[in-house]
Structures are given as C-alpha cells and as structure tokens.
A = this chain, B = another copy of it.
Amino acid sequence: MNTYRDIFKWGDKRETPIDSGTFKIIKEKFGYAEPDLQVKHLFGNQEVKLGSQCQLEKSIIKKLAEIVGSENIKDDDFSRASHAHGKFYAELLKLRKGEILSPPDLVIYPRSEEDIIQILEVCNINKIAITPVGGRSSVTCGVETPNKGISLDLTKHLNKVLEVNTINSTSTVQSGMFGPAFENYLNNFGEGFTCGHFPQSFEYSTVGGWVAAKGAGQASTGYGKIEHMVLSLKVITPSGIIETKTYPASAQGWDLHPIFIGSEGTLGVITRVTMKIHKHKPENTKYASFIFKNFDSAVNAMRIAMQSGIGLPHLFRISDPEESEIAFKSKNFDNTFADKFLNLLGYKSGNRCLMFVAVDGSKRYVNQVIKSIKEITKTQGAFFIGAGPTKKWLEQQYSSAYLRDPLMDLGIMTDTLETAVMWDNLIPLWNAVRNYLKSRKKTVVMVHISHVYENGANLYFTFLSPMQKGNELNDYHEYHKGIIETIQTHKGSLSHHHGVGKTLAPWMEKEIGSEALKLMQAIKNQLDPNGIMNPGNTLGLKP
C-alpha cells in the first residue's frame, strides 16, 4: 500500500528516531509529558487516492507516449500525488492530511534531450503546463503544480556524467543526476575529484535542481554557491535551445547563463551543466572547533577571518547561543564537568556559541588557514575545542534535517528560513527575526551562519513550536508571513539559497522593484511565450 507518508518523509524507508537528548528538550521547552511523546499527529499513513484523473486529451497523451514510450508516462495516483508537491512545511501538512488539490495530469520521464524538445513542442502548441523536477526537495513550492499538466521528471534517464575533463578540472553532467551519484563518480574518477557542493538536501537533490534553485552547499565558503561553479549549461526552452560555451571567463556582452541559474523551471528545462570540479584530497582536510562567549564575538571573528587575506575555509559555521545550547543539551552535556568548567571560564550556557571550521586543499594551505583562524578566534576570546565537534557535526550534516518528520508526528511545527545579509546588518536582523519568532509562545529558535563571504553571510533560522491542532496550515501561514516581512524590513535578502518558488513570490516585486520584475517577465515572455514553464506565479512571474 502506497501512503502519503511514503511521499512526504525523507528517504526511502528511513525513519530517523528522536534521541533522548532531544526528547528532554521537547519536554522542557513545550511542556510535553510522556503521553504527548506517543502521539502520531497527522501521520499520513492512509492510502493515496486522488479525487481527479488525468484531464489531458487522449490524442495528446498518445502523442506524448509516442515520443517517450508508454513505459515513461505515469498517470497512476501515487506517481501523480508524489509529483504534486515538494518538501515545504505547508506542503507536508497537506500531504499528511491527504489533501492534494492540484496534482499533475501526468508524470513523464524523458529519455533524452530530443524527447524533451518534442515534449515541449507538444505542450507549447497545446498550452499544457510543464514543471521540470529533479529530487523534488524544494522548500518553496518550487515543484508544486497548481496548473496541473506535466511533471517532467529528469531523474530516471537524464542522470549520467557525460564528461570529466581532468585537464580543465570540469565535469559535464546531466541535470537529473542525484548528488551522491555524481560525487561518488567524481571521487572515483582518475586521481579523484569532488564537486564541492553539499547542500543539506544533498542525498535527495539533483544537479539540475541545484542550478535551477540556485543552491549553496555546506562547503560554500570555500567552493562557492552553485552560481560560482557553473561554467556553461544547456537549456531547452519553448522558443528554442540555448547552449552556452565553456570558458573560464569572458566579456562577450552580458553573461546569459546567470539568467538560467535560479530560473526555477520558469524559462525552460536545464538538461546539462558543465561544472568546475576540484581535486579530492580528504586526507589533507583539517578541522577546528571553537566556543565563543557570545554571538557578537563569534560573528566578529568570522568577519575578520573573511577579510584578512588568509585564504578561505570551506566549511565555516557558527551556531547562535540557542542553537548551541540545544546542541549541547541534545548530547546531554548539561551539568557535566566540562559544562561547569566552560561556565567557570566565562563561556556561559545560554550565551556561548559554537564555531565549526573545515579547510580543504594542499597540506600547507590547510595548515596556514587553520593556524590563522586559530589566531583570529583567539583575539575574540574563543576557546579551541579541537577537531572532534566539527567532525561529529559533519557526520550528521544531512540527517539532522530528517528529524523534521518525527517532530511533525509529535505535533511540532518545524521549519527553516534563510536569508543573506551584509555584515553591518547581521546582528540587527538576527535580533529582529528572533524577536518576531519568540513572540510566539513556546518556540525554540535556532540560528546559524553557514555560508560566509568577505562582505556578509547568511542567517539560517530553524524554529520548533507546538502546532495549533486543527488549524495547522493557517496558523503556520500567518506566522511565516511575519518572518518574511521581518527579514525584508531588516535588509535581509528574500533568500540566500532556498530560492523563491511560489512561496516567496508575493514578496518579489517589493524585493527587486517593479522595473526589474518587468525585465524578468520580458525574459520569460521571450523564452516561454505561452507561459507553459512552471506556471503558477513562480518567482512572481505570470502566469
């Protein structure tokens, strides 16, 4: 039996259990008692049944089947339901309730770029919506299908590495390839390479999704965001094919490929990408972890490190006091000897902050960066706590997100929002968003900085709060709206790496201005004149 739970929860059959430390936190913060921990709220284990069938004309379905082969077209309830939504909290609530109002008519798995060209032709003539999808890990309703039509799933066939060029240090890869498969391929190619892109969704996201949604990996401080990694790409649009050439840099008019990086399926289907890759030398990587007395001094150390010409760490991360406290608590650190010792030294629980650092590269480079960061952190009063905590954090860098499902089972609202901000606005923004989030009673707010630049950084907010049972969706939407507005008022970007999708679209005009949005619309109209590509106000575009 295929259930809604099979759709929304992370992983195949994986269920991440909540550890004892986290249970303790839930009890303490939310006043949960033992019976509350047995609840299975909106568990979603009912069988998937859609109210409506595929509405496309028989003749069109026949044409599409002739293109891709009938084995690559699915119209069963489970296929359509599982392609109706991504992983945004509000989408998860709908899935848990079994409320799928607008599933795609068909899921199509194209076998080749040629298939995609033909599918786009058919859909363009017949004005059928197409939503290109990879791992469907979007947390912004990026892959939701409000206009139904076709969910074009690239993961089944367009999932191969086309070339690794060891001289140029590049790889050309099809967009439907998942992160682990790509990274594994590179690690084992020749002397070993890495793509350097490890978003938290890594295990369930594809190269095409990274590019379309303009993601960032956990090692982005060293390797850059995806837009710093893409050298060229091929995109099939309803108007024609655009394929950029691969150069290390150029000055032949304005670059066009930045238009497609972050286009979120609204302009066409990105089918292949040529990316920078790097030598994979995990044996050279060094780690360092620090505790600071407060968030200010941790942020200062980070900023100084980024602006002192010492080179770049790859992973560079601070947890704010509440996130640090939760991290310690979940490891049952409270009242241990080490805890008391840290408090005695002035690294007081509730104020202290954790910093994690990892540096890749040549041995000499790695040593130099680590040594420099140690010196800089020392000037800001940090306490060096060795390599261990960073390594431990890395072990669970993907799986910590999977806690979301068991937490929601317990009736706990849990979501993440993120923004980018210049250094001088970082602390005010952090304060403002925290204050807003804390205006809701019984809310845990954990914040970290995980993508760092010379000129600023991101802020990543994770919050947990008991759901208003029976009013889960409205309650969330109201709260969520206030977060976005607080971010926007306090000079944070609408997104640093989650993208915009349909969720943040209503704020786009305010964010970029009406002339800029008109320009985006003109680009959309040129490439997709019939508005078939990921419609439904994605990015604030029409339709």
Contacts and interface: CB of A to CB of B under 8 A. Distances in A.
Given A498-B251, A512-B253, A361 B311 contact: yes
Interface centre among A252, A454, A526 (most CB of B within 10 A): A252
A227 B258 CA distance: 12
A169 B516 CA distance: 26
Given A361-B309, A516-B244, A251 B170 contact: no
Interface stretch (A9-17, A274-282, A350-358): A274-282
Nearest to A235: B515
B500 A253 contact: yes
A243 to B, nearest CB: 7
Contact of A308 (B243, B362, B456): B362
Interface centre among A213, A457, A495 (most CB of B within 10 A): A495
Contacts of A237: 515
A56 interface: no
A174 B424 CA distance: 22
A268 B256 CA distance: 18
A344 interface: no
A520 B310 CA distance: 40
A225 interface: yes
Interface in A459-504: 491, 493-500, 504
A456 B360 contact: no
A420 B424 CA distance: 37
A539 B251 CA distance: 10
Interface string A223-260: 00101000100000101111111111111111110111
A99 interface: no
Interface string A338-374: 0000000000000000000000111011101001100
Contacts of A512: 244-245, 252-253, 256
Nearest to A261: B254
A117 interface: no
Contacts of A497: 249, 251
Nearest to A368: B368
B519 A256 contact: yes
A147 to B, nearest CB: 19
A251 B215 contact: yes
A13 to B, nearest CB: 31
Which 6 pairs of residues, A with B, have the shortest CB-CB distance?
A309-B361, A248-B456, A248-B453, A522-B526, A214-B251, A240-B515
A200 to B, nearest CB: 14
A169 B454 CA distance: 7
A225 B249 CA distance: 8
Contact of A252 (B240, B246, B311, B508): B508
A12 B411 CA distance: 75
Contacts of A248: 420-422, 453-458
Contacts of A249: 216, 225, 227, 420, 451, 453, 458, 496-497
8 contacts: A167-B422, A167-B424, A168-B456, A225-B251, A250-B420, A254-B261, A311-B368, A519-B527
A62 interface: no
Nearest to A422: B168
Contacts of A113: none
Interface centre among A227, A309, A366, A497 (most CB of B within 10 A): A309
Contact of A360 (B215, B309, B493, B515): B309
Contacts of A231: 455
Interface in A164-214: 165, 167-170, 213-214
